[in-house]
């Protein structure tokens, strides 16, 4: 009796404490899984050569080539791949990361789920501190938008909130090309993408920052979630990365997870199976493999799928931008695109399918035109990488890259139906 009483009294006390914590005015970050929240800034710069589409297509070719080289177990040779000169990232999200003890600089790094090496030194010089240790390896990685090579160090890396990773492998660039205005990359893709980037240890993979946060017990799960938002301005801080958990204030409803695809080469990345339908019944892409990538701006689909989309919308190809263009009347009639992922359907509204009109001239377009953000991936369907859900998709849907459970999740957000474009 008295035991039962004290138990229920204790429960009540706990409940009271829990309520006090959860309703307190200043939220306690640790309550929600010790989330590391990193604000990400969106930046836009298309002053170099090549259209937005050409840059995205260059990235796809590099991703494919890197995957093929890895599958074949050979070293990736950049010059084997034809590419347009892509001398800067046109649209990117960057985070500020500290390196060293104490962190002597704050580096602006591109957030990239399509690569997995973290490196610095493209802008500011790397400063060695007491926690810096040079290894015997060199590192090199090629991206669609550039490349870097340099030496490998292990060092302390600080993400926001003073959360630190010790002994993180980083590349320190001695040569980098195509990374104006940033210091390097925060590579948060699958760990295996780092295989072949070290020499002489070409067979060794490198744990990513997410892997190390998990291994060092800082986060409960090897997972990173990204929240981006559509915007009309060329530069804005409106994104957020969380490590180890999801931020329920950034999405609505529940998260639908899809297992990582087994289809190669999409399986080398954060790849999933998905089908795409236009309006109520026009199939654009039947269930097939592709990837989810923060380093691609547009939403790319196989050439034959793009032709079906073009026929359905009545769009014409715009020479200046490489994008499909609609008349005002066609835009009025534009239907939603439905992405079906593991049984759940995500609706990309008409407004979400167009490039923000305030940024038309920044991509070489006409201020009064209407351009679609769905572009040609450059190869026919059936090649194992038939779509890329890029930033224009991720600005409408919350995404969770879950390495522990080998899956990618999506949820709607307060911006899924926004009409900002």
Ligand X SMILES: *[C@@H]1O[C@H](CO)[C@@H](O)[C@H](O)[C@H]1NC(C)=O
CB of 128 to ligand X, least distance (A): 26
Instruction: Identify the residue among 27, 259, 380, 414 touching ligand X (CB under 6 A).
Output: 259
The residues in 304-333 that bind ligand X, with binding defined as CB under 6 A, are: 319
132 binds ligand X (CB under 6 A): no
Structure tokens at 284: 């654009």
Size of the site for ligand X (CB under 6 A): 14
Please give the sequence-ordered ranges of beta strands (E in DSSP) within 313-383, or none if there are none. Answer: 316-317, 324-326, 337-341, 344-348, 370-371, 374-376
Which of 56, 92, 112, 318 does the annotation list as catalytic? 112
Write the interaction track for ligand X spanning residues 28-47; mark x where CB under 6 A is met and - where it is not. Answer: -----------------x-x
The residues in 44-83 that bind ligand X, with binding defined as CB under 6 A, are: 45, 47-48
CB of 87 to ligand X, least distance (A): 5
Distance between CA atoms of residues 214 and 206, nearest Å: 14
Nearer to ligand X among residue 325 and residue 396 (C-beta): 325
Distance between CA atoms of residues 244 and 30, nearest Å: 12
Residue 293 annotated to the active site? yes
Instruction: Identify the residue among 51, 57, 83, 88 touching ligand X (CB under 6 A).
Output: 88
191 binds ligand X (CB under 6 A): no
Nearer to ligand X among residue 103 and residue 110 (C-beta): 110
Sequential DSSP letters for 134-186? EEEEEEEEEETTEEEEEEEEEEEEEETTTEEEEEEEEEEEEEEES-TT--EEE
DSSP 369: -
Structure tokens at 40: 């990400």
134 contacts: CB under 8 Å, gap ≥ 6: 151, 152, 153
Query: Could you tell me if 99 and 109 are in contact, meaning their C-beta atoms sit under 8 angstroms apart?
Result: no
Would you call 48 helix, strand, or coil by DSSP?
coil
Query: Could you tell me if 258 and 341 are in contact, meaning their C-beta atoms sit under 8 angstroms apart?
Result: yes
**Which residue's Cβ has the minimum distance to ligand X?**
181
Residue 112 annotated to the active site? yes
The residues in 269-288 that bind ligand X, with binding defined as CB under 6 A, are: 273
Q: How far apart are the first and last CA of the chain?
A: 65
- Residue 301: which of 391, 221, 373 has the closest Cα? 373
180 binds ligand X (CB under 6 A): yes
Nearer to ligand X among residue 24 and residue 319 (C-beta): 319
The residues in 349-388 that bind ligand X, with binding defined as CB under 6 A, are: none
27 binds ligand X (CB under 6 A): no
263 binds ligand X (CB under 6 A): yes
Nearer to ligand X among residue 263 and residue 330 (C-beta): 263
10 contacts: CB under 8 Å, gap ≥ 6: none
Nearer to ligand X among residue 251 and residue 339 (C-beta): 339
Distance between CA atoms of residues 421 and 417, nearest Å: 11
Nearer to ligand X among residue 146 and residue 245 (C-beta): 146
6, containing H or E segment: helix 2-23
> Which of these segments, 92-100, 257-265, 276-284, 410-418, binds ligand X (CB under 6 A)?
257-265
Residues taking part in catalysis: 112, 293
Q: Where along the sequence are the contacts to ligand X (CB under 6 A)? A: 45, 47-48, 87-88, 180-181, 259, 261-263, 273, 289, 319
């Amino acid at each position: 009796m008295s035991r039962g009483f004290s138990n229920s009294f204790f429960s009540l006390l706990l409940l009271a404490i829990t309520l006090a914590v959860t309703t307190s005015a200043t939220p306690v970050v640790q309550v929600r899984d010790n989330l590391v929240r990193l604000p990400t800034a969106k930046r836009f710069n298309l002053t170099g050569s090549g259209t937005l589409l050409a840059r995205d297509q260059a990235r796809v070719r590099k991703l494919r080539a890197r995957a093929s080289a890895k599958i074949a177990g050979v070293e990736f040779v950049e010059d084997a791949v034809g590419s347009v000169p892509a001398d800067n990232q046109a649209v990117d999200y960057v985070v500020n990361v500290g390196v060293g003890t104490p962190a002597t600089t704050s580096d602006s790094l591109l957030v990239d789920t399509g690569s997995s090496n973290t490196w610095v030194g493209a802008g500011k010089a790397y400063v060695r501190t007491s926690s810096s240790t040079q290894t015997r390896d060199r590192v090199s990685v090629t991206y669609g938008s550039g490349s870097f090579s340099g030496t490998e160090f292990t060092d302390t890396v600080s993400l926001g909130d003073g959360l630190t990773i010790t002994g993180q492998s980083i590349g320190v660039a001695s040569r980098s090309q195509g990374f104006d205005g940033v210091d390097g990359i925060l590579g948060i893709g699958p760990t295996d993408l780092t295989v072949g980037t070290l020499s002489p240890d070409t067979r060794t993979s490198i744990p990513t920052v997410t892997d190390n946060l998990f291994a060092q017990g800082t986060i409960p799960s090897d997972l990173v979630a990204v929240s981006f938002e559509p915007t009309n301005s060329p530069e804005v801080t409106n994104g957020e990365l969380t490590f180890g958990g999801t931020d329920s204030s950034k999405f609505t409803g529940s998260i639908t997870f899809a297992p990582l695809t087994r289809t190669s080469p999409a399986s080398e990345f954060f790849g999933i199976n998905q089908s795409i339908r236009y309006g109520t019944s026009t199939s654009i892409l039947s269930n097939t493999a592709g990837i989810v990538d923060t380093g691609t701006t547009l939403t790319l689909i196989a050439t034959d799928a793009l032709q079906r989309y073009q026929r359905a919308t009545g769009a014409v190809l715009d020479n200046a931008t490489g994008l499909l263009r609609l008349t005002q009347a066609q835009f009025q009639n534009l239907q939603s695109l439905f992405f079906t992922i593991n049984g759940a359907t995500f609706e990309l509204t008409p407004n979400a399918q167009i490039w923000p009109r305030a940024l038309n001239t920044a991509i070489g377009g006409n201020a009064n035109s209407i351009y679609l953000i769905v572009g040609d991936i450059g190869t026919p369907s059936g090649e194992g990488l038939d779509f890329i859900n890029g930033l224009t998709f991720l600005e409408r849907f919350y995404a969770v890259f879950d390495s522990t459970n080998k899956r990618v999740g999506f949820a709607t957000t307060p911006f899924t139906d926004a009409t900002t474009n």
